């Protein structure tokens, strides 16, 4: 399977192998893209990239689910209802995604606020907590500047 000659190419292969996933083009592409990108990406954004190699929409979804299932990426459902997936080289291979995320309501980009770990939350007795996510929304610096013109 043809693939890009990017800097993370060997790294993605190693990561996929380590978690027991077959090395397929879509998984390499998706993990590669998430590692390169400085911020979490939505399914739509992954499809839009020039180097997406025209993988089918469904294939991208399934690649994301596989990576998520193996813990290579974390995901957040934004206030806009769109799920975005992120991978951080420093977090891998046990990327917890245990931090807040910022979502710009104008450009739709999401950023990991890795400096803000999620707080402990008190829940009623008997409750089982499986996970948590926090989304901060508003305008990113660039969009905030444009909004004031």
Partner DNA sequence: TTCTACTTGCAATTGAGTTGCAAAAGCATT
Partner DNA sequence: AATGCTTTTGCAACTCAATTGCAAGTAGAA
Q: Give which of 147, 114, 128 is closest to 136, Cα–Cα.
A: 114
Rounded to an integer, what distance in angstroms lies between the CA atom of residue 28 and that of residue 8?
9
Closer residue to DNA in complex, CB, 3/116:
3
In DSSP terms, 40 is beta-bridged to none
Site string for DNA, 120-149 (x = CB under 7 A): ------------------------------
- Binding of a second copy by 122 (CB under 8 A): yes
Rounded to an integer, what distance in angstroms lies between the CA atom of residue 35 and that of residue 147?
30
Distance of CA 114 to the CA centre of its chain: 13
Footprint on this chain of DNA (rule: CB under 7 A): 1, 17, 21-27, 42-44, 55-59, 61-63, 65-66, 77, 81-83
Footprint on this chain of a second copy (rule: CB under 8 A): 77-81, 83, 100, 102, 105, 111, 113, 115-116, 118-119, 121-141, 144-145
């Amino acid at each position: 399977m043809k693939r890009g000659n990017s800097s993370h190419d060997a790294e993605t292969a190693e990561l996929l192998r380590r978690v027991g996933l077959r090395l397929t083009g879509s998984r390499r592409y998706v993990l590669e893209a998430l590692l390169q990108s400085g911020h979490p990406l939505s399914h739509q954004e992954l499809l839009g990239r020039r180097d997406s190699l025209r993988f089918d929409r469904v294939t991208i979804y399934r690649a994301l689910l596989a990576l998520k299932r193996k813990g290579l990426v974390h995901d957040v459902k934004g206030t806009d209802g769109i799920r975005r997936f992120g991978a951080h080289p420093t977090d891998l291979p046990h990327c917890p995604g245990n931090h807040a995320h910022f979502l710009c309501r104008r450009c739709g980009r999401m950023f990991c606020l890795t400096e803000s770990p999620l707080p402990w939350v008190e829940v009623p007795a008997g409750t089982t907590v499986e996970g948590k996510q926090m989304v901060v929304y508003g305008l990113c610096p660039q969009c905030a500047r444009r909004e004031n013109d």
